[in-house]
Amino acid sequence: MLGDGNRPLFYLRPSFFRGNWNLLWVVQRYLRTSISGATPKKILNAMLALLEMKIGKTHLQSNPFVLRIEPTNICNLHCPRCSCGINTDPREKGYIGLDDYNVILKQNQKTAVILRLDGNGEPTLHPKIFELIKTAKLYGYSISMSTNFNTDSCEDVKQFVDSGIDRIIVCIDGNTQASHERYRVGGNLSLVEKRLVNLIRIRKKLNSKKPFIEVQFLDWGYNHDEISLVRSKVYQWGVNKFQAICPDWAVTHARANPNKPRRCFWLWEVLSVDWALNYHSCTNAWTLPWPRLNAREVSSEDFWNHPLMVQARRYNIDKSAENIASDSGCHCNNCSDMLVVDRPPNYVCE
């Protein structure tokens, strides 16, 4: 399907990715900006990781090719479907330290291609966010970050170009302030748009192709008719990509098969670490502590084939891991993303 100006329009029905997080989803979103972090060894590792997920291996020879680090779990907005926004995240608030951050980057630099530098909070609230980006570039990562673009750190947009970040995803959920702030509670649409236009202008002035700029639009139904307006507008400004996603599609269209959940991309391909260096088996479950392991005590390599992670993969395949099924701290046994259970109305991303 094509959007305005014959650009591809990635208005994806979540059936394509919600409950799958499959290869096509990863490729269409990240391939163009992952080149800077790719080496022959990393590519081979990624291919092996995808193969091992496909055939259902639980003890892996591959390592995660996506690294996700949460800079902070603090946010300046109050989005009603986010545990951070509605203040139900039970974790202590804080920021990742530079020394801890370097340890995680170093442990994964030989195999991880992409660094997602975001989590359950707004990453640009980290007081040293641009230092985090520049440091990761020194380790050879391709860096992607999602932002509401409403913090003071976003005012000087030239910092994004200077940092070397490969991709930023800017959230715009409406063509008017009233529509945008209905979900982005506390967000200022005109400020986001002004900064976005300025970023594109400076990028062009500096003759830089980075960062690749994506605008993400969450379709909640009430703003559906504004998708084409926002898409046309941002492409005219010069963004590289517009993507609309309907988070609630799974509520009415996807049905769980608890005996055969869809294969979980996170368990085979993505290493997630929060600001306090706690590992998370799922990057849609930041508020849940499982598997209760910390990077200060367990290296990334040891964690990836830790007995609990092996059991989680087994549970995803055939439900044979009884301790996973009975563990209230593990999200795997109550997962609506992988369609273990149906997605409830007003689902909150944890």
- Model pLDDT, residue 274: 97
pLDDT at 33: 80
In the chain (350 residues long), the average pLDDT of successive 10-residue segments reads: 39 40 64 85 94 94 97 97 91 97 97 95 98 98 97 97 97 97 97 98 97 96 96 97 88 78 89 97 88 96 97 92 89 84 80
User: Looking at residue 24, what is its pLDDT?
Assistant: 66
Give residue 252's pLDDT.
Answer: 78
pLDDT for the residue 75: 97
Give the 3-state secondary structure of the chain.
CECHHHCECEEECHHHCCCCCCHHHHHHHHHHHCHHHCCHHHHHHHHHHHHHHHHCCCCCCCCCCEEEECCECCCCCCCCCECCCCCCCCCCCCECCHHHHHHHHHHHCCCCCEEECCCCCCHHHCCCHHHHHHHHHHCCCEEEEEECCCCHHHCCCHHHHHHCCCEEEEECCCCCHHHHHHHCCCCCHHHHHHHHHHHHHHHHHCCCCCCEEEEEEECCCCCHHHHHHHHHHHHHHCCCEEEEECCCHHHHHCCCCCCCCCCCHHHHHEEEECCCCEEECCCCCCCCCCCCCECCCCCHHHHHCCHHHHHHHHHHHHCCCHHHHCCCCCHHHHCCCCCCCCCCCCCCEC
The full set of domain ranges for the chain reads 21-90+102-114+255-350
CA distances 98 to 50, 102, 128, Å, are 31, 6, 9
Query: How many CB atoms are located within 10 Å of the residue 299 CB?
Result: 13
Q: How confident is the model at residue 329, as a pLDDT?
A: 87
Q: Please tell me the predicted confidence (pLDDT) of residue 7.
A: 41
pTM of the model: 0.91
